[in-house]
A = this chain, B = another copy of it.
Amino acid sequence: MNGAQALFETLVAAGLDTCFANPGTSEMHLVTAIGQSARMRPILCLFEGVASGAADGYARMLDRPALTLTHLGPGFANAMANLHNARKAHVPMVNIVGDHAPYHLQYDAPLTSDVAGHVRLHSAWHRAARSAQDLSRAGAEAVQAATTGAGRIATVIAPANFAWEPADGAAPPLPAPAQGRTSDATIAALATLLGNGRRTGLVLGGRAQRAEALVMAGRIAQATGARLLGETFPPRLARGAGRVKLERIPYFAELAIEFLEDLDQVVLVAVNEPVAFFAYPNVPSRLLPERCAIHELVGLDEDVPDALARLAAAVGATTDAPLQRHELPPIPEGPLTPAAIGACVAKHLPANAIVCDEAITCSLDLYRATEGAAPHDFLAITGGSIGIGLPLAFGAAIACPDRQVVALQADGSAMYTVQALWSMAREQTDVTVVLLNNASYAILNVELARLQAGAPTPKTLTMLDLGNPVPDWVSLAKGMGVSADRVEDTVGLERALAQAAATRGPKLIEVMVARR
């Protein structure tokens, strides 16, 4: 047995069985060991950002880590943008990144770089293996680190020779870390607070947005009159017909400030204080009114259902909040405005679907339209790093092969990790990509105005415009092995969505977005 074999035996024993991989020469013994493992499933990604985004989607759905396998510093660098999103989603993930043999580093060969320097930026835990035997020990530690709290990113640097040198055997699994729990004093204090008659917001984030946690939070709101607020970009939100409804905090800071201005106090549930996404001239970074007191029920990494259940009991909350009714907006005839697209998506969304949202400027209309659609999980872009949508949908589909995944996908963002389509085709994942082609970084046109940057010249606008040429997404999808249709009106979109829902496997619907 070599170090690589011992490592994957360790990881499989710890319950990891899925590896999103983009390996290189220094990982060939790792690849061989995966090939020899009866349980490890390798999934080839043609760009590392697909691997990390897919591991994020996988973890958001299953609450357990997938593996990624990448090649040296540059390979890890390509994974970083989506690791940033994964870090902000607080998911568990274990990355294995190859490095040169330590004795080879001193020669500064072309692919030599500061791998630890790369890894450090996006990993809560990381270390390089120190020997072939230590490689599997590092793997066991990584799993333990990754499953701490809500989830962490843990990265093992695997020098090539430690993969090929002999090892004694797999490392024993390490115990899962205990989860923190809200104190009785906090529960009692917050129960009192919720009865003080002041205008209260219960702000839900992370795992407080799962279906059962929402039921409990809804009862608290129902009993106390608190507003039920949800973070702007949830890792995974249970919503749609039959679910407890929450008010999502708006993205634009000006709107969010208005939206929150009635609040005297907030209770944070697995979330940080809401803040502006970007700084803008003359707009504050903090969104809550100055008078608003901020309290925390439970931290992101602590036991969320427990805290909500105990607070509900403490305030005597037993009545369920009214649930979202199944109601669909009417579908207008004609061009595909964002609202019309939303109405079509809402009608054809299968029950228990997974919706991955990287619709950017179209997102708000689609979100509103699908409020009363069939119940679904909604996965957002948690860290604002675009290019997560397609990989996220792919990873969620690998995690939940029996659920249909719908990716609501802006064109500009899709381009960053377009290679995800190929992996969808290879794995025949049941993903419908609703590709919103507005031939623009439309959000940047909006932001340009908000930032009062001055009148744009035609040259300025070339930097925000995807026209000339307009990417042809039907051809791009076909090139990646995914069947695709272009639609220009609601009849066409309805037909394409119905077809997609009725057939398994990946498909892309290129929606030519009309101006509102």
Chain A residues in contact with chain B, CB under 8 A?
21, 23-26, 28-29, 31-32, 34-36, 42, 44, 46-47, 49, 73-75, 77-78, 80-81, 84, 88, 100-101, 103-104, 107-111, 113-114, 117-118, 120-121, 160-161, 164, 233, 272-273, 275-279, 281, 285-286, 382-385, 387, 412, 415-416, 418-419, 422, 425-426, 443-444, 447-448, 451-454, 456-466, 468-481
Contact = CB atoms under 8 A, between A and B. Distances in A.
Q: How many monomers of this protein are in the complex? A: 2
Contacts of A80: 73-74, 77-78, 80, 118
Contact of A44 (B36, B49, B453, B462): B462
Contacts of A479: 471-479
Nearest to A447: B25
Contacts of A475: 475-476, 478-479
Given A164-B453, A278-B111, A471 B463 contact: no
B383 A74 contact: yes
A457 B444 CA distance: 48
B383 A277 contact: no
A74 B78 contact: no
A110 B88 contact: yes
A278 B451 contact: no
B384 A278 contact: no
Contacts of A113: 84, 121
B44 A463 contact: yes
A35 B463 contact: yes
A205 to B, nearest CB: 12
Contacts of A383: 74, 110-111
A278 B26 contact: yes
Contact of A416 (B44, B47, B104): B47
A272 B460 CA distance: 43
A411 B416 CA distance: 18
Contacts of A471: 422, 479-481
